[in-house]
Chains A and B, each alone.
Chain A
């Protein structure tokens, strides 16, 4: 079903949305990771983690953590490390 302008609810399947949501978050996280990777080895993980911590609302962070738990498909290595670090820090606090 293609959503037209008259579609008044988003019932095209929760899983499809969750999947789409994760895809978008992975893309966004990787974009951030790409920038900080170019800033040198100590920024690649730290910078990415900081940026996500500073700008992502908790439910976005929760969703990316869940995606990590589900295998973290598509995450660049430095981004994966950043998200792991972030989750550890958040669990500790």
Chain B
């Protein structure tokens, strides 16, 4: 193994380079070269193997032409133009290496070096410095102007960011960082302040990096050719010596990274240029927040205890697995086969998820298996399979580059799916129009060089009404794409739907009364989406986590079908998935009613296929979903659970009910990296492994299956799939595999949309999007191209039903919840990294008007009370939220945001209604009684008995 170096072509591909047919042929150093029109000379040379010296150019940003090192001679043209800014032309004759060019380049380098400290041996970029490389490349042997570099402005090192330093003395003012921040990340946090020798990189208004609007995505660090912006881990450890390409384990974007290693120590994670989801970009989580993998809180030995009030006792793997298996067997013998179940994890690999559901179905002999998608995207599965026939998004992320209008509903991609957020913003800066449907004024609504054409800040819970009102406008104003609908959809169903949405009660004027969105805004947004060219919809949990979550997904699908925005690049309906492998865990049969590939358990033919391969009889009845399991536990018929990598006590709604359910069980087995909140109620703890410690695959929001590669040995001794295999064996169900690739082979044998998938194929292609089978051997970037998977697209009427969770005199405000950039979900990983400097606590956002009425000042502790419970947090006064709406995140366990959320859920899937809770806010002195009691519980239940020293 060695360090993977991608080729830097100096400038990006020609705009639409891959799509334009037109090529030009020129001669470079006597060789004929053919490239797409619009390509730079620098890139044309690089594509054919000649690296023209350069400093300010790199192919992640547009050409800038400032360093004057990449000069070339062109026959018939005066002077020595920069090859980065000069496009190729037919018949052009270029020379990249002449005496004159050599002399000029040496002169340029001399000037650069005269202004640069020459502490190369002790410099953190030693061995990874483009300035050093270029000095070598041009044959620099002497600097006539001195070696001290004393003239360069040096205000001192800025080490405020936890992950990288800014050392102005090393800066060559190439502006690569500034341009990366603008063009790639889209934050515009950086500029060059001062002139001449005084030039320095300035974050914000000459602030330090941490105080500025920098989002720490790492693009500037990646772009920097010297040690000016350098990872602290590189400064600390040194340069890496080998790298492994793998997939990020945070959100559903699924960025590809190079894990750059020295021995078995991770030096840094660098976004991989060939990653098809991220195209070389990253966010603060994937790029920097991997410190949790070696955090001291990680539990590395299995533990058991009889009662949750006992301290944990470390035991051998044999004992822990044996104990768990015998408990499950005892419970099933005593209370019945259906008294136990399991939860698969969207953080684990496809192979691991597949094994957990296999263990439940074949080992436990019931279908009580569910996954965390229950609480996030289960309505997507229901809604999209009803209308289109597939439980997945329709596009790849590249598709956004061809969108003209982007409709973002109930999603906050710049925080929750940052790399997709950056790709979207890039397209918006190129001129695409944006509509944001969200109760909060998210960053997308207005941020540097981005402004939504329409923002629909509806009252939480009125999604169906608002989307149906948009349909009303499209139908009644004659904006339906009738040709598409007639060809692709069921015409009778369409007519029934069109008649329904045309009713006056669905008009924007009527809906304005309940949603709070002005009728003209709804009309304008609908017209723009229907007529603005390629219309793409991206949505998130603001759509699904409602009592009508599935209905909103259906309403969105209706909108896309009515306007013909399905089945080609640039359009589509795209759920943004929260966790890295939500799509995969759903695909792998994690739902209690479905076998892998979304096939109902009652289907005899499908079930028999599994029975034949697994050699067991499978139950043909649907099993319990997570909320049903908890209800059954409280009622006494469900007594044991195996939970892999999910923290239901923190993430699921109505904490008191979850706690009561867990407390009622006789055997709770938690497999995780840390003693998470759920583990407070566990009897067996099986230490899990991180994404760096195992092989497998993740499937991102684009249906893209990507390899996760083992970079280091598991600190806990076993990859998670091996632990499930051990547990199954102890239960008497053997599933012998020697490598996860064999599990994928089994998945491929059993799942029609996966028949062409194998580890070898993914490795060869880099990634593959399902369906991947005989009909689509190289996968499917865009779905429903020549017709819907279900046959005809199905229009379904979407009656708005107000949630039962209503405001009133006792609880007059609506609480909605969401995420923040630096933290991830329950925070188990990110809270154990330096990311906490950005978000030490969950705050309650409240409008100034509501705050004033209640005598709440910014930073005050406030009590948040609902009919389910109460908790406290510190207030953050902001007009991002509308009057009447409050908002908080749920990344910190002591916030206990879910003590407040209720047990209301989506009608079709039981996905909890996190996004609407009626609450009252009042000033408070500090933590609630529940929070205090919970703090004590945590202290009690996390005790680990000291092992006696061996004599």
- What residues make up the interface of A, taking CB atoms closer than 8 Å to B? 3-10, 14, 17-18, 21, 24, 27-28, 31-32, 34-35, 38-40, 51, 54-60
| Chain B residues numbered 592-623 whose CB sits less than 8 Å from any CB in chain A | 592-593, 600, 602, 621-623
Q: Are B309 and A8 in contact (CB under 8 A)?
A: yes
- A74 CB, min distance to chain B CBs, angstroms: 13
Q: Is B881 an interface residue (CB 8 A)?
A: no
Residues of B close to A55: CB separation below 8 A:
593, 622, 625, 908-909
Chain-A contact segment, one of B65-73, B285-293, B930-938: B930-938
Please tell me which one of the listed residues A7, A24, A34, A59 contacts residue B637 in the complex, with CB atoms under 8 A apart.
A59
Q: Are A59 and B338 in contact (CB under 8 A)?
A: yes
Please tell me which one of the listed residues B367, B602, B660 contacts residue A10 in the complex, with CB atoms under 8 A apart.
B660
Q: Are A57 and B910 in contact (CB under 8 A)?
A: no
Residues of A close to B602: CB separation below 8 A:
54
Given contacts A18-B635, A35-B908, contact A10 B903 (CB under 8 A): no
- A1 CB, min distance to chain B CBs, angstroms: 12
| Of listed A4, A14, A38, A55, residue having the most chain B CB within 10 A | A55
Please tell me which one of the listed residues A8, A10, A21 contacts residue B307 in the complex, with CB atoms under 8 A apart.
A8
Q: Is B656 an interface residue (CB 8 A)?
A: yes
Please tell me which one of the listed residues B623, B799, B908 contacts residue A38 in the complex, with CB atoms under 8 A apart.
B799
Q: Is B495 an interface residue (CB 8 A)?
A: no
Q: Are B621 and A57 in contact (CB under 8 A)?
A: yes
Q: Is B216 an interface residue (CB 8 A)?
A: no
Please measure, in the bound complex, the distance between the C-alpha atom of A7 and the C-alpha atom of B934, giving whole angstroms: 11
Can you list 26 A-B pairs with a CB-CB distance of less than 8 A?
A: A3-B656, A3-B660, A5-B934, A6-B933, A6-B940, A10-B634, A10-B663, A10-B664, A17-B635, A24-B903, A31-B907, A32-B907, A32-B908, A35-B908, A38-B797, A40-B496, A51-B908, A54-B593, A54-B622, A55-B593, A55-B908, A57-B367, A59-B338, A59-B624, A60-B624, A60-B628
- Please name the residue on chain B nearest to A32 by beta carbon: B907
Residues of A close to B637: CB separation below 8 A:
59
- A29 CB, min distance to chain B CBs, angstroms: 10
Q: Is B237 an interface residue (CB 8 A)?
A: no
- Please name the residue on chain A nearest to B661 by beta carbon: A10
Residues of B close to A9: CB separation below 8 A:
663-664
- A57 CB, min distance to chain B CBs, angstroms: 5
Mark interface residues in B912-935 (1 if CB within 8 Å of A CB, else 0).
000000000000000000100110
- A23 CB, min distance to chain B CBs, angstroms: 10
Q: Is B360 an interface residue (CB 8 A)?
A: no
Residues of A close to B368: CB separation below 8 A:
57
Please measure, in the bound complex, the distance between the C-alpha atom of A8 and the C-alpha atom of B668, giving whole angstroms: 13
- A54 CB, min distance to chain B CBs, angstroms: 6
Please measure, in the bound complex, the distance between the C-alpha atom of A34 and the C-alpha atom of B660, giving whole angstroms: 30
Residues of A close to B699: CB separation below 8 A:
none
Q: Are B660 and A57 in contact (CB under 8 A)?
A: no
- A22 CB, min distance to chain B CBs, angstroms: 10
Q: Is B191 an interface residue (CB 8 A)?
A: no
7 smallest beta-carbon distances between A and B, as pairs = A38-B799, A31-B907, A10-B664, A5-B937, A5-B934, A57-B624, A10-B634
Please measure, in the bound complex, the distance between the C-alpha atom of A59 and the C-alpha atom of B622, giving whole angstroms: 10
- What residues make up the interface of B, taking CB atoms closer than 8 Å to A? 307-309, 338, 367-368, 496, 547, 551, 592-593, 600, 602, 621-625, 628, 631-637, 656, 659-661, 663-664, 796-799, 801, 804, 903, 905, 907-910, 930, 933-934, 936-937, 940
- Please name the residue on chain B nearest to A57 by beta carbon: B624
Q: Are A5 and B635 in contact (CB under 8 A)?
A: no
- Please name the residue on chain B nearest to A6 by beta carbon: B937
Residues of A close to B940: CB separation below 8 A:
6
| Of listed B496, B623, B631, B933, residue having the most chain A CB within 10 A | B631
Residues of A close to B933: CB separation below 8 A:
4-6
Please measure, in the bound complex, the distance between the C-alpha atom of A31 and the C-alpha atom of B913, giving whole angstroms: 13
Please measure, in the bound complex, the distance between the C-alpha atom of A87 and the C-alpha atom of B308, giving whole angstroms: 41
Residues of A close to B664: CB separation below 8 A:
9-10
- Please name the residue on chain B nearest to A61 by beta carbon: B621
Please measure, in the bound complex, the distance between the C-alpha atom of A31 and the C-alpha atom of B805, giving whole angstroms: 13
Residues of A close to B547: CB separation below 8 A:
31
- Please name the residue on chain B nearest to A51 by beta carbon: B908
Residues of B close to A34: CB separation below 8 A:
799, 801, 907
- B634 CB, min distance to chain A CBs, angstroms: 5
Please tell me which one of the listed residues B309, B551, B636, B937 contacts residue A35 in the complex, with CB atoms under 8 A apart.
B551
- A15 CB, min distance to chain B CBs, angstroms: 11
| Of listed A18, A35, A54, residue having the most chain B CB within 10 A | A35
| Of listed A9, A10, A40, residue having the most chain B CB within 10 A | A10
Q: Are B628 and A57 in contact (CB under 8 A)?
A: yes
Residues of B close to A31: CB separation below 8 A:
547, 907
Please measure, in the bound complex, the distance between the C-alpha atom of A37 and the C-alpha atom of B907, giving whole angstroms: 13
Q: Are B663 and A39 in contact (CB under 8 A)?
A: no
- Please name the residue on chain A nearest to B336 by beta carbon: A59
Q: Are A54 and B631 in contact (CB under 8 A)?
A: no
Q: Are B797 and A39 in contact (CB under 8 A)?
A: yes
Please measure, in the bound complex, the distance between the C-alpha atom of A17 and the C-alpha atom of B663, giving whole angstroms: 15
Q: Are B907 and A28 in contact (CB under 8 A)?
A: yes
- A63 CB, min distance to chain B CBs, angstroms: 9
Further pairs besides A4-B930, A17-B634: 14, Cβ < 8 Å: A3-B656, A9-B664, A10-B636, A21-B635, A24-B631, A24-B903, A34-B907, A35-B799, A35-B908, A38-B799, A40-B496, A57-B623, A57-B624, A59-B624
Residues of B close to A27: CB separation below 8 A:
804
Please measure, in the bound complex, the distance between the C-alpha atom of A17 and the C-alpha atom of B664, giving whole angstroms: 13
Q: Are A35 and B907 in contact (CB under 8 A)?
A: yes
Given contacts A31-B547, A51-B908, contact A8 B663 (CB under 8 A): yes
Please tell me which one of the listed residues B621, B663, B936 contacts residue A7 in the complex, with CB atoms under 8 A apart.
B663
Residues of A close to B623: CB separation below 8 A:
57
Residues of B close to A5: CB separation below 8 A:
659, 930, 933-934, 937
Residues of A close to B309: CB separation below 8 A:
8
Please measure, in the bound complex, the distance between the C-alpha atom of A46 and the C-alpha atom of B368, giving whole angstroms: 26
Residues of B close to A7: CB separation below 8 A:
659-660, 663
- A59 CB, min distance to chain B CBs, angstroms: 6
Please measure, in the bound complex, the distance between the C-alpha atom of A28 and the C-alpha atom of B909, giving whole angstroms: 10
Residues of B close to A17: CB separation below 8 A:
634-636
Please measure, in the bound complex, the distance between the C-alpha atom of A24 and the C-alpha atom of B634, giving whole angstroms: 13
Please measure, in the bound complex, the distance between the C-alpha atom of A55 and the C-alpha atom of B550, giving whole angstroms: 14
Please measure, in the bound complex, the distance between the C-alpha atom of A28 and the C-alpha atom of B632, giving whole angstroms: 15
Please measure, in the bound complex, the distance between the C-alpha atom of A9 and the C-alpha atom of B633, giving whole angstroms: 10
Please measure, in the bound complex, the distance between the C-alpha atom of A17 and the C-alpha atom of B656, giving whole angstroms: 14
- Please name the residue on chain B nearest to A7 by beta carbon: B663
Please measure, in the bound complex, the distance between the C-alpha atom of A4 and the C-alpha atom of B308, giving whole angstroms: 14
Residues of A close to B600: CB separation below 8 A:
54
| Of listed B309, B496, B798, B907, residue having the most chain A CB within 10 A | B907
- B28 CB, min distance to chain A CBs, angstroms: 64
- Please name the residue on chain A nearest to B367 by beta carbon: A57
Residues of A close to B338: CB separation below 8 A:
57-59
- Please name the residue on chain A nearest to B627 by beta carbon: A24
Please measure, in the bound complex, the distance between the C-alpha atom of A18 and the C-alpha atom of B600, giving whole angstroms: 29
- A26 CB, min distance to chain B CBs, angstroms: 12
Given contacts A8-B309, A54-B600, A59-B338, contact A28 B910 (CB under 8 A): yes
Please tell me which one of the listed residues B631, B659, B798 contacts residue A3 in the complex, with CB atoms under 8 A apart.
B659
- Please name the residue on chain A nearest to B796 by beta carbon: A39
| Of listed B368, B600, B602, B664, residue having the most chain A CB within 10 A | B664
Please measure, in the bound complex, the distance between the C-alpha atom of A14 and the C-alpha atom of B623, giving whole angstroms: 23
Please measure, in the bound complex, the distance between the C-alpha atom of A57 and the C-alpha atom of B601, giving whole angstroms: 12
